Structure 1
Amino acid sequence: MLRILLTNDDGIEAQGIRRLAEALLDLKNAEIYVVAPAEERSGVGHGLTYRSALAPVSHPFYGLPVKAWAINGNPADCVKAACHLLFEDRRRPDIVFSGINVGTNLGRDIYYSGTCSGAREAVILGVPGVALSYDNWYAQDDFGQVGELIRPLLHMFCEQAAEKKLPADVFFNINIPHLPPEQVKGIAPAALALHHYEDKFDRQDEGYWLTREYPDGQKQSDADDYHLVKNGYITVTPVHIDATDRSLLADMAEWPLLKQRGQGTS
């Protein structure tokens, strides 16, 4: 039986993770577990809890036929706890889905996102991971027909996980436009759009708040996730967890100081 783990960064009572679970319930020969933060942990990146103890607690989950725990930690903590602590048979999940996040996680958001860290942590532990985010930041209570939109992708990833066909060391980052199904143009592979917004700090009485600006006329590649989502596509980006620039690594062997060290000279 396929073991599916769900997590998120919006908290165990968020609507997005409920929609994610509901979209998976029609899978045959699958068991679904939820391990999610007890409170919202958006923007925590890949933070881990090790200066205080984790305390998983069984949690009701909308009356759905899943077993759920809430954890006083971050998404990466939730995946670690599931893989090391919570399953009596100690069998790890076959696949981890993280989300559905309120708002997109595009481009460099993957480094800040707790949603993405849930999928990334799964891959670090040798389990396929998929992060899902929905472009409803300005309508956070409206999840539209997101379940219908993502169900084919979820089923495809589950089938590939069951057949051990998903690549190691890669998590998949999915972003979904806030559109009805008939207006979605399709599903597209996408690169990360690393420069589609600029940081901005707004000064208020209590201090400075970090916000964003999306400059008009900024050149974007047609293959970038930001461009594709804004033009009505569901995007799927494979993100390798090995961030080594291997072409530069080879060039660095010719740097004088590094070359000397490689030859054992001082």
Structure 2
Amino acid sequence: MNLRIAITSCLSVVLFTGCSDSSDIIATPEQQTLTLLVTNDDGIGAPGIDALVNGLLELDDVEVKLVAPAENQSGSSDKTTEGDLVSEDSATASGYQGVAVYGYPADAVNVALEDLGIVPHLVVVGVNKGHNVGPYAVTSGTVGAARTAARAGYPAVAASVSVFPEYADYDAAVILVTDWIKDNRDALISGSASADTVTSFNVPGCTAGEIRELVAAPLAEFISDDDIGRWFKTDCSLEPDSPPTTDFDALLKGHSAVTDVPLEL
């Protein structure tokens, strides 16, 4: 029973049976609004964050707060700016209103939490143009923003796709994020969701075939110079000869990967 129905029912019987105090009517987690803070490292006008915001707005009973860098800040890790920051009202490519911060992705998170007083249940970062796997996670502004949020005690999710526009499947990344939110909504609302690590999704850029199922995989410890860039596009029609062992290996084999990223890299 939702709150409105509960109150109406209570009023309808008050003359006959009385009514309990309104404090007895407690909304379930499904009825509470989920506050989501969205940021990225590609800038507020990038296509990935636009796709993400629009996808999040399709969820039931959510409030989306948008605070993102004014300009592309890829590769900035969790750097922050000393001194005051300039911010201004801005919007995504499709017009969702938010705040643009002239600084790094981690700066945008700090402005949202400290200056704007936003108290999110979850911080969502992306969708980034360019995968953030293995040792490259440490330089990622996307993962850096998520790590900054988690270090402040807020659960954080990051999502990344191929750097090549023709293979950048933003929709697939958004589905992974929204499914994760649905699965973890109760824990997020109750405050029991973990902020000990960052949940990082990477989606392969399939040149052929379909994206394979999501696999949980650790960060690759090493990627050789010869392998740099190989994960950006993949023939997903080829049958893998073995299960993925790392996030990098998962992309090479056409799988989306979900990885628990430590807060300190």
Q: Structure 2-normalised TM-score? A: 0.75
Counterpart in 2 of 1:217? none
Q: Does 1:228 align with 2:258?
A: no
Number of residue pairs matched? 221
Segment drifting more, 220-229 vs 113-122: 220-229
Describe the SS at the equivalent of 2:91.
coil
Describe the SS at the equivalent of 2:48.
helix
Q: Does 1:75 align with 2:105?
A: yes
Q: Does 1:16 align with 2:48?
A: yes
Whole-angstrom distance in 1 between the partners of 2:55 and 2:89: 22
Structure 2 vs 1, CA of residues 78 and 104 (structure 1 numbering), >3 Å: closer, same or farther?
A: same
Offset of 1:149 from its aligned partner? Answer: 5.2
Name the one with the larger helix percent: 2
Counterpart in 2 of 1:98? 125
Amino acid of the structure 2 residue aligned with 1:59: S
Counterpart in 2 of 1:85? 115
Structure 2 vs 1, CA of residues 110 and 33 (structure 1 numbering), >3 Å: closer, same or farther?
A: same
Amino acid of the structure 1 residue aligned with 2:40: N
**RMSD after superposition:** 2.7
Identity rate of aligned residues, in percent? 30
Amino acid of the structure 2 residue aligned with 1:31: E
2:87 touches 2:100 (CA, 8 Å); kept in 1? yes
Offset of 1:150 from its aligned partner? Answer: 4.4
Whole-angstrom distance in 2 between the partners of 1:236 and 1:18: 22
Q: Where in structure 1 do 4 or more consecutive aligned residues deviate above 3 Å?
A: 140-145, 147-151, 157-160, 211-214
Deviations 1:172-213 (A, max 9, x none): 111011249x822211111111212339xxxxxxxxxxx947
Whole-angstrom distance in 1 between the partners of 2:158 and 2:131: 10
Offset of 1:110 from its aligned partner? Answer: 1.3
Q: Structure 1-normalised TM-score? A: 0.74
The 5 A counterparts of 1:177-192 are 177-179=204-206, 183-192=210-219
Whole-angstrom distance in 1 between the partners of 2:71 and 2:166: 16
The 5 A counterparts of 1:71-150 are 71-86=101-116, 90-135=117-162, 137-139=163-165, 142-143=168-169, 145-146=171-172, 147-148=174-175, 150=177
Gaps of 5+ in 1: 200-210, 215-219, 244-266
